Amino acid sequence: MPDLTTRQDIDKLLADFYALAMADAGIGHFFTEVVALNLETHLPVIGNFWESVLLGQPVYRGNPMLIHLELAARAPLTTVHFERWLALWRQCVHTSFAGERATLAIDRAEQIARLMLLKIEQGH
């Protein structure tokens, strides 16, 4: 299996992930009801985020922490939700990719989830 080496790889990973996440019984409602996510506008932005993280390209402009704090104010985000998000993320990475950056994608997602959950639990 190839590693995550291009923006196209990241776009594939994200398309696969959001297809699963939006249909998931445990977390899908965050994407379809709480936020009513528009993938046409969201995927390029989140793609920029992961391109910055995985490929070192400074293309992301935004504050994902603030976005998730606002989301948590609308609907509770718990450890269970983050664990499900991570399980789906790992599944999508492992299904299509292997290598240093694939491992980094999982490691960074786990770090981000821990930090976001901590900030949400602290109320800021």
Inside any domain, residue 56: yes
**Is residue 13 predicted with pLDDT exceeding 70?**
yes
Total domain count, the chain = 1
Is the Cβ–Cβ distance between 104 and 3 less than 8 Å?
no
Q: Which whole number is the average pLDDT over 26-43?
A: 93
Residue showing tokens 């993938």: 39
φ/ψ (deg, to 5) at 21: -65, -40
Q: What is the CATH number of the domain that holds 52?
A: 1.10.490.10
Residue 1 lies in a domain: no
Residue 12, in any domain of the structure = yes
Is residue 2 in some structural domain?
Answer: no
What confidence tier does 124 reach under pLDDT thresholds 50, 70, 90? low
Between residues 114 and 62, the one the model is more confident about: 114
11 conformational bin, left if phi > 0, alpha if psi -120 to 50, beta if neither: alpha
Residues 6+ apart with CB under 8 A from 114: none
Q: Assess whether pLDDT exceeds 90 at residue 90.
A: yes
Q: Which residues contact 79 (CB under 8 A, 6 or more apart)?
A: 117
Residue type, 73: A
Look at residue 117 and tell me if it is in a domain: yes
Q: What is the mean pLDDT of residues 14-27?
A: 97
Residue range of the domain that includes 52? 7-122
20 within a domain of the structure (yes/no): yes
